Amino acid sequence: MLALFGNLFEAAPEDMREEHVACLVEARHVKIERIVSLGHASPPGFWYDQPWAEWVVVLAGAAGLSFEGEAEVRVLSPGDYLLIPAHTKHRVEWTSKDPATIWLAVHYPESE
């Protein structure tokens, strides 16, 4: 098996109309992604409602996340992480452009 090699802080692609999502590892019960955002946000009125749990950490930049039923936006800075349980409605309110927001996201099924 060839070893996987890369750098989490490599530059964002030139064309960033959409967030750049790269799958780093995918196995039966886990997926790890590197996400680069440049001022991206969820569309107005859109809420994520994922059937899996997601653990995210901001490595660079910053982001604001909203959760259904919470009045305040949670601001994440480098090093901040959070666990989003399955079916927890949330949205990305904003991400920084300079520097780019770099996330590491781990998706996995919740135990029953």
Q: What is the CATH number of the domain that holds 63?
A: 2.60.120.10
Say if CB 52 and CB 39 are below 8 A apart. no
pLDDT of residue 14: 74
What pTM does this model have?
0.89
Inside any domain, residue 63: yes
pLDDT of residue 13: 75
Inside any domain, residue 17: no
DSSP state at residue 48: B
Question: Which has the closest alpha carbon to 41: 90, 104, 89, 92?
Answer: 92
Domain count along the chain:
1
Helix (H, G, I), strand (E, B) or coil at 57: strand
Which tens digit of pLDDT belongs to each residue from 2-52? 677 889 988 777 778 889 999 999 999 999 999 999 999 999 999 999 999
Facing residues of 55 across strands?
83, 106
HSE-CB of 75 using CA atoms within 13 angstroms:
4
pLDDT of residue 1: 53
Inside any domain, residue 11: no
pLDDT of residue 18: 87
Inside any domain, residue 12: no
Determine the structural domain holding residue 90 and report its residue range.
24-108
Inside any domain, residue 65: yes
Which tens digit of pLDDT belongs to each residue from 66-108? 999 999 999 999 999 999 999 999 999 999 998 999 999 999 9
pLDDT of residue 81: 98
Inside any domain, residue 70: yes
Inside any domain, residue 83: yes
Inside any domain, residue 13: no
pLDDT of residue 46: 97
